[in-house]
């Protein structure tokens, strides 16, 4: 049994689906279902007995302890977080609550479980894997070397500061209490079930709705894009073979300026779903920049490749085409998110089961 937090979000749900496609080991999926949690991401599992969903807050230490005792997982994979930089600028409090205090409370529950409930053999096998971000390292100039695992932390947004704090807590729990932790710091993900407040799904959704395609500032900020299933594979590999206490950077070697990404999306949409009045590029609109906007992220993922043999399978060209295709083929999912109907999924599902 593995214990996944945040498994109804974008990366967490992809991870759960990929995991259960390759393994019969059950997953207990603990998610608070904030606006970013969407159980319909997991609807293809049906009532698969290998998937146990529990709606709970990782900040509820008592509940986390009860769940750990009940399910006795051999690993905890911590995806749950507030994850959107723009939201952290408008309202940082939830980010401190979940990313800092929530991670602390979860670590406390896991420390007690690990210390008092596991045999020596179970302790040997146990892992706490913390899913983090490249944003903790701050920003790069065009000529700087990519972030490595030894790059000094320099977070610039409330989001990245809260993730940096959680990384430090995880590190401290390894060094102080001997908890067998693993931390992954990954670059920008994209792919199916990506909530359309983030750049790539927002552009695809707005393009098809005939809305403007907002580019912050000059659009020359660079991100290093990784297809989500490659991130999930990296996490599985680190869980299997990572050295307790270590940090692994995960990236796609796909540095792209935002404006170039949006041009690629418009060109693929022009081909797959042309609009009669001309290219989707005509909908591009430059808007005010994000405050404190980091200029460039780039990941040096050589440690993960050299030590654990992981490399991404998708190039940006293959991954972005699959992604656009997925959004075109899954319009009801997009419409449910856009309309807010996805928030009613729990109620709807419960009522249907009662009927």
Active site residues: 134-135, 159
**Residue 212 Cβ vs ligand DAU, minimum distance, rounded to whole Å:** 10
3-state SS record for the chain:
CEEEECCCCHHHHHHHHHHHHHCCCCEEEEECCCCCCCHHHHHHHCCCCCEEEEECCCCCHHHHHHHHHHHCCCEEEECCCCCCHHHHHHCCHHHHHHHHHHHHHHHHHHHHHHHHHCCHHHHHHCEEEEEEEHHHHCCCCCCCCCECCCCCCCCCCHHHHHHHHHHHHHHHHHHHHCCCEEEEEECEEECCCCCCCCHHHHHHHHHHHCCCEEEECCCCCEEEEEEHHHHHHHHHHHHHHCCCCCEEEECCCCEEEHHHHHHHHHHHHHHHCCCCCCCHHHHEEEECCCCCCCCECCECCHHHHHHHCCCCCCCHHHHHHHHHHHHHHCHHHHHHHHHCHHHHHHHHHHHHHHC
Q: Which of 16, 17, 28, 31 binds ligand NAD (CB under 6 A)?
A: 31
Among the listed residues 28, 68, 102, 151, the single contact to ligand NAD using CB under 6 A: 102
Among residues 5, 13, 7, 6, the alpha carbon closest in space to that of 193 is found at 13
Q: Which stretch binds ligand NAD (CB under 6 A): 30-38, 120-128, 264-272, 334-342?
A: 30-38
- Binding residues with ligand NAD: total (CB under 6 A): 30
The answer to whether 249 contacts ligand NAD (rule: CB under 6 A) is no
Per partner kind, with CB cut-offs from 5 to 8 A, the member of ligand NAD, ligand DAU, none near residue 85 is ligand DAU
> Binding string, 39-58, against ligand NAD, x = CB under 6 A?
------------------xx
Instruction: Rank residues 51 and 163 by Cβ distance to ligand NAD and give the closer one.
Output: 163
Q: Does 16 bind ligand NAD (CB under 6 A)?
A: no
Q: Which stretch binds ligand NAD (CB under 6 A): 4-12, 144-152, 332-340, 347-355?
A: 4-12
Residue among 160, 147, 163 at smallest CA distance from 300: 147
Q: Which is nearer to ligand NAD, 216 or 286 (CB)?
A: 216
Residue 23 Rama label (left phi>0; alpha psi -120 to 50; beta): beta
131 binds, among ligand NAD, ligand DAU, none (CB under 5 to 8 A by kind): ligand NAD
Minimum distance, C-beta of residue 10 to ligand NAD, in the bound complex (Å): 4
String of contacts with ligand NAD for each residue 166-205, x by CB under 6 A: --------------------x-xx-----x----------
Closest CB 149 distance from ligand NAD, rounded Å: 15
Output the CA–CA distances (angstroms, integers) from residue 198 to 52, 129, 206, in the order listed. 28, 25, 12
Q: Which is nearer to ligand NAD, 9 or 242 (CB)?
A: 9
* For ligand NAD, the closer CB: 5 or 283: 5
32 interacts with, out of ligand NAD, ligand DAU, none, CB within 5 to 8 A per kind: ligand NAD
Q: Which residue is nearest to ligand DAU (CB)?
A: 133
> Which partner from the list ligand DAU, ligand NAD, none does 16 bind, CB cut-off 5 to 8 Å by kind?
none
Structure-block tokens of residue 241:
């073979």
Binder to ligand NAD among 2, 3, 4, 12 (CB under 6 A)? 12
What, of ligand DAU, ligand NAD, none, does residue 223 touch, CB below 5 to 8 Å by kind?
Answer: ligand DAU
Instruction: Pick what 80 binds: ligand DAU, ligand NAD, none; C-beta below 5 to 8 Å, kind-dependent.
Output: ligand NAD
């Amino acid at each position: 049994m593995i214990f996944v937090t945040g498994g109804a979000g974008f990366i967490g749900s992809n991870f759960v689906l990929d995991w259960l496609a390759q393994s019969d080991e059950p997953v207990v999926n603990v998610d608070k279902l904030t606006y970013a949690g969407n159980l319909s991401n997991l609807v293809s599992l049906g009532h698969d007995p290998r998937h146990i969903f529990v709606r709970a807050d990782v900040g509820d230490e008592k509940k986390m302890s009860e769940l750990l005792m009940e399910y006795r997982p051999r690993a905890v994979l911590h995806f749950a977080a507030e994850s959107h930089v723009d939201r952290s600028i408008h309202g940082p409090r939830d980010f401190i609550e979940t990313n800092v205090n929530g991670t602390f409370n979860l670590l406390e529950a896991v420390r007690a479980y690990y210390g008092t409930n596991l045999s020596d053999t179970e302790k040997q096998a146990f892992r706490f894997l913390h899913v983090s971000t490249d944003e903790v390292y701050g920003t790069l100039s065009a000529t700087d070397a990519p972030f490595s695992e030894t790059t000094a932390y320099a977070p610039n947004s409330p989001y990245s500061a809260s993730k940096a704090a959680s990384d430090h807590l995880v590190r401290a729990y390894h060094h102080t209490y001997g908890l067998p932790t693993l931390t992954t710091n990954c670059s920008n993900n994209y792919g199916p079930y990506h909530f359309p407040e983030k750049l790539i799904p927002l552009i695809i959704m707005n393009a098809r709705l005939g809305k403007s395609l907002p580019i912050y500032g000059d659009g020359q900020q660079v991100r290093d894009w990784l297809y989500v299933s490659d991130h999930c594979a990296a996490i599985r590999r680190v869980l299997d073979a990572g050295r307790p206490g270590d940090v692994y950077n995960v990236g796609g070697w796909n540095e792209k300026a935002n404006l170039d990404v949006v041009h690629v999306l418009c060109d693929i949409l022009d081909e797959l779903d042309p609009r009669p009045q001309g290219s989707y590029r005509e909908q591009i609109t430059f808007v005010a920049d994000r405050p404190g906007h980091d200029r460039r992220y780039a990941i040096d993922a050589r440690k993960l490749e050299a030590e654990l043999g992981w490399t991404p399978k998708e190039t940006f060209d293959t991954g972005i085409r699959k992604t656009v295709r997925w959004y075109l083929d899954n319009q009801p999912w997009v419409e449910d998110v856009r309309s807010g109907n996805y928030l009613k999924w729990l109620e709807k599902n419960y009522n249907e089961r009662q009927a």
